[in-house]
Chains A and B, each alone.
Chain A
């Protein structure tokens, strides 16, 4: 869930407290009705009551968290939703959209990332480009591709021989590192 509250906060703690009180009341007063329903079977009464107590105690907070996620996530527009996954990895999805428009669908590309980039970007950029740039093929070695995308450094700074690179833009989600696109020499 994209916007699940990371911490309970005042509302969450209040709901946890309410749930705990409700669970306690169920434990005190629900024992006999549950026992009567399951046929005065002691262990079964204990298990069913205990489960219901946990469910009742946790339900208000659990459902509130989901409702909070709905409230925060519902306003995300369909256009934004398409690259919100990139943003969770500090990758500017709009920059990738620009790259998508520049590389023909049938061409291949390689990816280079500056070692100074955030770890999220280093670990996820190639995978996000793989998903976002479908059906373009991603080469395992950038030199074998027709295009090279570099993040946070020019192709030359990453040791890649290309034609003069084009600055696609700067990443708005971290240190405004530059993003380049270049044709390879092959």
Chain B
């Protein structure tokens, strides 16, 4: 176990390094004093990049052995560092080492340690958690295990009856492969490996928003995220929904910051997270589509719309190799196996909608998180943050409508489909609202235009 944990630390150090490369490639250079927070955003960016590029490499025929994963991370890091080193000869560094700081005094200083405590307890639980939920082993881990056993993606195996929803995207299996390649197959550290993305989320959100919003609001939101029981439980279940939610929420937060500041590095960062969301689950494509349309509306201007379209298209195209591969090898899923989606009785919409609302208002699942998000939208709408409130509400409703559409058109047993999935499918919209909440409530009076990593002049 100790050896495996050390191997996992090394592997995730590589992902962190890759994430640093992603930040540098996007043009973000966090100040040294901000490193604790920047680790969070770098880790999630690294996981998205490794997951997305790793998926493409699997389709290209690689087996993603441990040394290939190390090389992949090194290549991503170099891709971010080398252009910067070359350009430094000609231009002075844009980023100083002293970050802008909002001084926090009094009781709000207790909130980060409380968040860290909640996350540490969850991390301990992830470390002892076996792989036991049926979705985890029948959809995701089986693919990673088959790559290890068969030396890469095997169309014969994936199109056999052994794999459930075999055409689901590959980011989660690639992240699980990291644990398997470095710790051996089988190993019980897969839930911890997958859960690290959620453990990094609070720090990532702080890194993206800390210089834009009031610390007390931001710290309250991340504490509420860390304590939400259903997020803890689902993170420990080694299913893809929390991973999707983290990528999507950060894509939205970075995208919104781009709308505010016009800094293209935030748009590129948003694109990396969006690609991660698209490559994690099928509904990620719908969610990101809604997000891109909403961002285009609020961003305005032909040049910005073109930038956004380019990034959105690039994020979407990362899924194309896998889509082509699955079609070529006739790899399907439960929906296609049951005859494909088609509109069912209309009464499914209110029935599924009512189940979604029941889940959303259940405080034993979310504690204060959903109520906080709703209150933030209402308060922001009544103030000067009306545009942000409208954006948050429209994207949330759009995502929930997408989920509702999936239930309306499901060829599977409707009641069974809803009962077994509604708790998971609403996670991404809820985490999106949580990520937007500090922006809705906590605008700092000054310095709203400065992006991540830029110091105050």
A residues in contact (CB < 8 Å) with B: 1-2, 4, 30, 33-34, 37-38, 43-44, 46-48, 50-55, 58-59, 62-63, 65-67, 69-70, 73-74, 76, 78, 80-82, 84-85, 88-89, 105, 108, 124, 126-131, 133-140
Contacts and interface: CB of A to CB of B under 8 A. Distances in A.
Contacts of A84: 130, 132
A81 B188 contact: yes
B132 A2 contact: yes
Q: Which of B106, B134, B379 has the most CB of A within 10 A?
A: B134
B164 interface: yes
A33 B156 CA distance: 64
Interface in B115-137: 117-118, 121-122, 124-125, 128-134, 136-137
B223 A47 contact: no
A127 B138 contact: yes
B371 interface: yes
Nearest to B234: A1
B45 interface: no
B409 to A, nearest CB: 23
Contacts of A85: 130-134, 136-137
Given A47-B375, A134-B142, A4 B162 contact: no
Contacts of A46: 375
A2 B216 contact: no
A42 to B, nearest CB: 10
Nearest to B158: A137
B186 interface: yes
Contacts of B137: 85, 127-128, 131
A55 B236 contact: no
B157 interface: yes
B182 to A, nearest CB: 16
Given A63-B118, A81-B188, A33 B131 contact: no
Q: Top 8 nearest A-B pairs by Cβ distance?
A: A130-B162, A54-B368, A81-B130, A138-B162, A135-B149, A127-B138, A85-B132, A137-B160
B368 A55 contact: yes
A69 B130 CA distance: 12
Given A54-B368, A58-B368, 7 more contacts: A1-B129, A50-B372, A51-B221, A89-B134, A130-B161, A131-B137, A139-B161
B107 A37 contact: yes
Contact of B142 (A30, A65, A130, A137): A130
Contacts of A53: 368
Interface stretch (B49-57, B225-233, B388-396): B225-233
B129 A2 contact: yes
Nearest to B156: A137
Interface of B is mostly: helix
Contact of A47 (B138, B232, B372): B372
A60 to B, nearest CB: 11
B441 A44 contact: yes
Contacts, number: 165
Interface in B66-112: 106-108
B220 interface: yes
A140 B161 contact: yes
Contact of A54 (B156, B187, B236, B363): B363
B131 to A, nearest CB: 6
Contacts of A76: 128, 130
A67 B105 CA distance: 31
B145 interface: yes
A66 B375 contact: no
A53 B363 CA distance: 13
Given A55-B223, A82-B186, A84-B130, A48 B217 contact: yes
Given A44-B379, A54-B363, A137-B162, A131 B145 contact: yes
Contacts of B157: 134-135, 137
A38 B217 contact: yes
B379 A131 contact: no
Interface in B202-223: 214, 216-217, 220-221, 223
Contacts of A50: 368, 371-372, 375
Nearest to B137: A131
